Amino acid sequence: MIKENDYLNTIADQCLSKAKKLGSTEASVFVVNSVSENVNIRNRKLDGSTRSENLGITLTTYIGKKKSSISSSNLNEKNLDNLINRCVESTKITPEDELNSLADKELYFNGDKNLDLYDETILENKQKIDYINEAEEEAFSKKDIVNTNGSGFSQNKSNFVLANSNGFSDGYKTSQFTAYCEVVSKNNGSMERDYEYSSKRFYDDILKPKDLGAKAAELALQKLNPKKIKSEKLNIIFDKRIAKSFLSAFSSAISSSAIARGTTFLKDKLNKKIFNDKINIQDKGDIKKANGSRYFDSEGVKIKPLDLVKNGDLKDFLIDTYNGKKIKLQSNGRSSGSTNLYFLNGSVSFKELLCSGKRILYVNETIGRGSNLITGDYSVGASGLMIENGEFSYPVSEITIAGNLNDIFKNISLANDLEFNYSTNSPTMLVEGMIVGGK
């Protein structure tokens, strides 16, 4: 069982009180307890079962404009005293930085917690094992599925308290249930692998085991007997689970730390057009049950919905207190990064996207991170399927796709099939005129 708020609050109060007595002018403390249970299955046999518990603390103390932080997983009273002493003493000898401070009081979260982020369900090990066994059985029922690379199920429960000397003190429980199934297909000497994955706050919302196994098998079978293609310029459709990687690069490029350092190709683009007029991007932390939802960031600042891109124009950054001061913008509750980040739906169906050209490459796997956020250059290894006259024709492998994010962003078209399966989500995406390196 995870620790309740009373226990976590007691530790937080002790830390703040003692830090103040030792000379700290400001302080913040984060106390967290989490429990993770995992089972792993390979070829329908148990391949491991683990349970881990974490109880930890991170203390940050300020003396004027000096700041220091320290972390520990040992929370007995004697160690806590030593921890606080060490943190304050370290702060005394740390150089001053005029931008160091807690977040402004008026920005702190103070509201109702109604996002449904915690599921009381507790699964026994047998239930986790049965779930994955059923998924693998379904996958093995498909012809040419010959092996698994391992499948698993995890149940994670967490509770935390964040408190500081400005009077903010709050926290809440979260849960996460995750299942994956990775299988191997074989035919005529060709062997391929693929997976399906489902992760939700509530157990009842994850994929049913048979659906998980069937999808993993379908994806692995699609890849069998791939062809190599010559180097050329093609329109590319990115599967939803790959398309979201462009949003991950985008969010890194608009973080206030990258903007403040000038290490991003979007540093001078606020209120300028970076996508075409049909593209809109939002970051919303208040979607019920969503994986990225939260009430406040790691500084206690309330998380408000952001229109990051409106009709192609960049309208906001992801801003924390410290870097916000550097770029003269107030924190918008993103010291922990984005929350539920997503492209809004486009206006065409998935089928219409497939039929938008005579010959289109459909990418459903990439290798490598591929994005240089300073220049915007993009290059990854990839595999997928060739689309001819609106139909999937044959699998393709051993290719490289490349471009520059400045150009890619302006040549995006989106389908209307957005789903909230992750904390970062995208509809199926078409990018016109990318360079494909083949044989």
Question: Radius of gyration over alpha carbons of the chain, in Å?
Answer: 24
Indicate where the chain has its CATH 3.30.2290.10 domain(s).
5-35+51-107
Assigned CATH class of 5-35+51-107: alpha beta
Q: Are 293 and 422 in contact (CB under 8 A)?
A: no
Can you give the pLDDT at residue 58?
98
Nearest-5° angle of CA 108, CA 109, CA 111? 145
Can you give the pLDDT at residue 370?
83
Q: What are residue 342's DSSP bridge partners?
A: 282, 425
Can you give the pLDDT at residue 202?
98
Whether the pLDDT of residue 368 is over 90: the answer is no
Can you give the pLDDT at residue 342?
98
Dihedral in degrees, nearest 10, Cα atoms 50, 76, 19, 82: -100
The arithmetic mean of pLDDT across residues 394-414, rounded, is: 96
Whether the pLDDT of residue 236 is over 80: the answer is yes
Can you give the pLDDT at residue 207?
97
The arithmetic mean of pLDDT across residues 400-412, rounded, is: 96
The arithmetic mean of pLDDT across residues 390-408, rounded, is: 96
Whether the pLDDT of residue 369 is over 80: the answer is no
pLDDT digits (tens, 9 = 90+) for 283-322: 999 999 999 999 999 999 999 999 999 999 999 999 999 9
Other beta carbons less than 10 A from residue 147's beta carbon: 17
Can you give the pLDDT at residue 149?
87
pLDDT digits (tens, 9 = 90+) for 175-217: 999 999 999 999 988 999 999 999 999 999 999 999 999 999 9
Whole-number percent of the chain with pLDDT over 70: 100
The arithmetic mean of pLDDT across residues 274-285, rounded, is: 98
Whether the pLDDT of residue 225 is over 90: the answer is yes
Whether the pLDDT of residue 372 is over 80: the answer is yes
pLDDT digits (tens, 9 = 90+) for 326-347: 999 999 999 999 999 999 999 9
Whether the pLDDT of residue 246 is over 90: the answer is yes
Q: Are 245 and 173 in contact (CB under 8 A)?
A: no
Residue whose C-alpha is closest to residue 146's, from 201, 184, 104? 184
pLDDT digits (tens, 9 = 90+) for 128-168: 999 999 999 999 999 999 999 889 999 999 999 999 999 99
* pTM of structure: 0.95
Can you give the pLDDT at residue 1?
80
Whether the pLDDT of residue 362 is over 90: the answer is yes
Can you give the pLDDT at residue 302?
98
Residue 80 — pLDDT band, cuts 50, 70, 90? very high
Chain mean pLDDT for the chain: 96
- What whole-number distance in Å separates Cα of residue 343 and Cα of residue 341? 7
The arithmetic mean of pLDDT across residues 28-54, rounded, is: 95
Dihedral in degrees, nearest 10, Cα atoms 256, 262, 265, 268: 80
Residue whose C-alpha is closest to residue 370's, from 275, 238, 278? 238
Whether the pLDDT of residue 43 is over 90: the answer is no
